[in-house]
Amino acid sequence: MDGRQKSIVDSRRAQMFFDLEPAEIERVRRFGTYRAYAAGEALANVGVVAQGLTIILSGQVDILQREKAGGHRVIVTHGPGSFMGELAQLAGRPALIDAYAKTPVQALIISPERLRALLIAEAELGERIMRAFILRRVGLLETGGGGPVIVGRAGNGDVLRLQNFLRRNGHPHQSLDPEADEEAKALIDKFQVDPGQLPIVVCPSGQLLYNPTETELARCIGLLGPIDPNRVYDVAVVGAGPAGLATAVYAASEGLSVIVFDCRSFGGQAGASARIENYLGFPTGISGMALMARAFNQAQKFGAEMAIPTEVLGLDPPSADKAEHFVLKLANNDRATARAVVAANGARYRRLDVPGLEEFEAASVHYWASPLESKLCAGEEVALVGAGNSAGQATVYLASQAAKVWLLVRGPSIAASMSRYLVDRIQGLANVEVLTQTKISGLEGNDGMLEAIHWRDAAGKETRRPIRHLFSFIGVDPNTHWLAGAGVTLDPKSFIVTGIDARSHAGPLETSVHGLYAVGDIRSGSIKRVAASVGEGAQVVAALHGFFAEADRMEAVAARA
Ligand SMILES: Cc1cc2nc3c(=O)[nH]c(=O)nc-3n(C[C@H](O)[C@H](O)[C@H](O)COP(=O)(O)OP(=O)(O)OC[C@H]3O[C@@H](n4cnc5c(N)ncnc54)[C@H](O)[C@@H]3O)c2cc1C
């Protein structure tokens, strides 16, 4: 962190750490159980699932954060009336801090499930506690406290992949570059790691992972727990973008049991947006990640279960001779069962048709422009391909960091496909050059890192420029492969057909399979906007209630017969 900048702990301390009034403690006693701790006893340890919200009734507790170079730093000392906990406690995930009783302590422990009930029952106090949880997480994100340590060369494709995964999932972490950090060298020596085995990840539990997959990392740090194959959820939501998270918030808040799967992280395409300026209620704009993180926390507050990262690979609808409910086939041979399924898994970016693209995709070709990418490009020239709003937003964002942005467009202008405000903004940027009727024709580089890009204009003139980062925003295709064999009607472009075009009695968001719904970008004819996806996520919950009411009626009739 920049030494001149104030940390969140300095600027928002009063909201992060406050005491409950005696009357408030009295009111919340019914949610908890009592426990006593001797001086020196641990109340929480990094990497171990904590008990939930802990309100200190008497005594003092030190909250400690582990430092990069070993050792601990006291973040805060809680006294009577104050409380321990942050976002991990909402979902029953492992703690990101250590907590030790400084004196004998009496505490009220509120389990994650009872905590969610408290947050809903006690609206005003719940709002203050929730805000404190979010700010405490932001504080941990600022320092990387309590998270895993990634050791590997900065800019290496796998290092970027792991950093991106943790950043997109709002999980603190630290990165150490063996070429620049003494601590990295010490860890490499300690674990006797060969340079070819990098990157490694040291989990808070002490477990060492060699260049792990996102799933291996998520399991090691407790982000992803086991899925109970015998539990029947009311609703399984596939995709945690705006449509899926809206479905989860409305369904869980109305008492349905909900599980949400996403193969990457929460937020979907919206989470990759540097600044969303057309979402109702945010006149100054909001970063996609900030908007989606709020929705994710909100869904967890209402009790939606998150299984991230988990890819849904297939779907078996209920049938008379087989299962009574939908069975979702998941990566790692796991399964989940639900009475209804909502497909909210959007679309995936198209890839440029240029030889050798794959070789550079990990480190030099980017499909979104977040602070991580913009840092990599600071002071450099970059090339960006695309002419839609996402390309426009990324151009404006990157231009604030990069020395120059070359915007390469296949068509004759950007005005036909980009919103006017973005076109105007781009025209006002001195370090952006728009090249129309131009295509990327070649890539040059070594070890997965780009060194130069070639492009060709309409007259066939080829240009070569020494550019190390290429951004691609050329549209998306629907993620409908997992529905193959499930009997779902798709349109000619493979988007899911809903409503009466799918089946004569289907509701507006229902597919050709009764009980399977589609919302957001994956739906044929959808408006590809965050607000439209959120609206459909809210709307589908009414349809789900209708579906369950009908299913319950049928069951009652069958039981009477
Ligand atoms: C860079 C960028 C900027 C944008 N800016 C704006 C803007 O300013 N304003 C605006 O209104 N719109 C904007 N959009 C469009 C908007 O983000 C999308 O319309 C919206 O995100 C669609 O939401 P969704 O939930 O339907 O799908 P998505 O956002 O695509 O989310 C789908 C999720 O499903 C997951 N998934 C896919 N397949 C599977 C599977 N088999 N199993 C499990 N999970 C799966 C994905 O990982 C993803 O997280 C932007 C898009 C991009 C790419």
CA of 273 to the centre of ligand 1 (A): 9
Cα–Cα distance, 471 to 469 (Å, whole number): 7
CA–CA distance, 522 with 513 (Å, rounded to integer): 15
**Does residue 1 have a pLDDT over 60?**
no
The 10s digit of each residue's pLDDT in 180-218 is 888 899 889 989 999 899 999 999 988 999 999 999 999
- The stretch 521-531 carries a mean pLDDT of 93
Which two structure tokens, joined as six digits, stand for 497?
């057909």
pLDDT tens digit string along 438-471?
Answer: 999 999 999 889 999 999 999 999 999 999 999 9
Atom 15 of ligand 1, residue of closest alpha carbon: 529
pLDDT category at 487 given cuts 50, 70, 90 is very high
Q: Is the pLDDT of residue 475 over 80?
A: yes
Give the per-residue pLDDT at 276.
85
Per-residue confidence (pLDDT) for residue 2, from 0 to 100? 45
DSSP at 353: -
Q: How far is CA 479 from CA 143, 146, 237, 336, 468, in A?
A: 36, 35, 14, 19, 30
Atom of ligand 1 nearest to the CA of 481: 41
CA of 528 to the centre of ligand 1 (A): 9
Pairing, β 149-151 against β 174-176: parallel
pLDDT 10s digits, 23-47: 999 999 999 999 999 999 999 999 9
According to the model, what pLDDT value does residue 543 have? Answer: 97
Decide whether any atom of ligand 1 lies within 6 Å of the 479 Cβ.
yes
Does ligand 1 have an atom closer than 6 angstroms to the CB of 328? no
Q: Does an H or E element contain 150, and which?
A: strand 149-151
Mean pLDDT of the chain: 93
User: Using 50, 70 and 90 to split pLDDT, how confident is the model at 5?
Assistant: low
Calculate how far, in angstroms, residue 463's C-alpha sits from the geometric centre of ligand 1.
34
21 CB burial (10 A radius; 0-12, 13-18, 19+):
exposed
**Ligand 1 atom with least separation from CA of 272:** 1
Distance 454 CA to ligand 1 centre (A): 30
Answer whether 107's CB lies under 8 Å from 55's CB: yes
Q: How far is the CA of 380 from the centre of ligand 1 (A)?
A: 28
Residue indicated by tokens 């004819």? 525
Contacts of 130 (CB under 8 A, 6+ apart): 119, 297, 301
Q: Residue 125 — φ and ψ, nearest 5°?
A: -65, -40
Ligand 1 in contact with 344 (CB < 6 A)?
A: yes
Residues 337 and 329: their CA atoms lie apart, in Å, by 9
Q: pTM above the 0.95 mark? A: no
Please report which confidence band the pLDDT of residue 349 belongs to, taking 50, 70 and 90 as the band edges: confident
Strands 365-366 and 469-472: parallel
If one compares 210 and 285, the residue with the highest pLDDT of the two is 210
Is the CB of residue 242 below 6 angstroms from any atom belonging to ligand 1? Answer: yes
Q: How many Å apart are CA 134 and CA 148, to the nearest integer? A: 20
User: Which residue pairs, CB below 8 angstroms and at least 24 apart, start in 184-193?
Assistant: 184/151, 187/149, 187/151, 188/151, 193/151
pLDDT band (50, 70, 90) for residue 4:
low
pLDDT reading at 259 higher than 80: yes
| pLDDT confidence bin for 3, thresholds 50/70/90 | very low
Q: 69 pLDDT exceeds 80?
A: no
DSSP letters of 212-256? --HHHHHHHTTSS----TT-EEEEEEE--SHHHHHHHHHHHHTT-
- Better-predicted residue by pLDDT, 322 or 398: 398
pLDDT tens digits, 393-446: 999 999 999 999 999 999 999 999 999 999 999 999 999 999 999 999 999 999
For residue 276, with 0-12 CB atoms within 10 Å meaning exposed, 13-18 middle and 19 or more buried, which class applies?
buried
Of 236, 247, 246, give the one whose Cα is nearest residue 310.
236
138-164 residue pLDDT tens: 999 988 888 999 999 988 989 999 999
Task: Indicate if ligand 1 lies below 6 Å from the C-beta of 537.
Answer: no
Cis link prior to 199 (omega < 30° from 0)?
yes
Q: Is 379 helix (H, G, I), strand (E, B) or coil?
A: coil
User: What is the rounded CA–CA span in Å between residue 47 and residue 518?
Assistant: 37
| Spatial CA neighbour of 271 closest among 289, 296, 293 | 289
Rounded to whole angstroms, the Cα distance separating 336 from 338 reads 7
pLDDT at 319: 85
Poorest-pLDDT segment among 174-178, 412-416, 473-477, 516-520: 473-477
528 within ligand 1 shell (Cβ under 6 A): yes
User: Which of these, 460, 461, 351, 471, lies nearest to 405 by C-alpha position?
Assistant: 471
User: Most confidently modeled of 97-111, 266-280, 345-359, 361-375?
Assistant: 97-111
Ligand 1 atom at minimum distance from 243 CA:
25
Task: Answer whether 273 contacts ligand 1 (Cβ < 6 A).
Answer: yes
Average of per-residue pLDDT across 523-538? 94
pLDDT of 132: 97
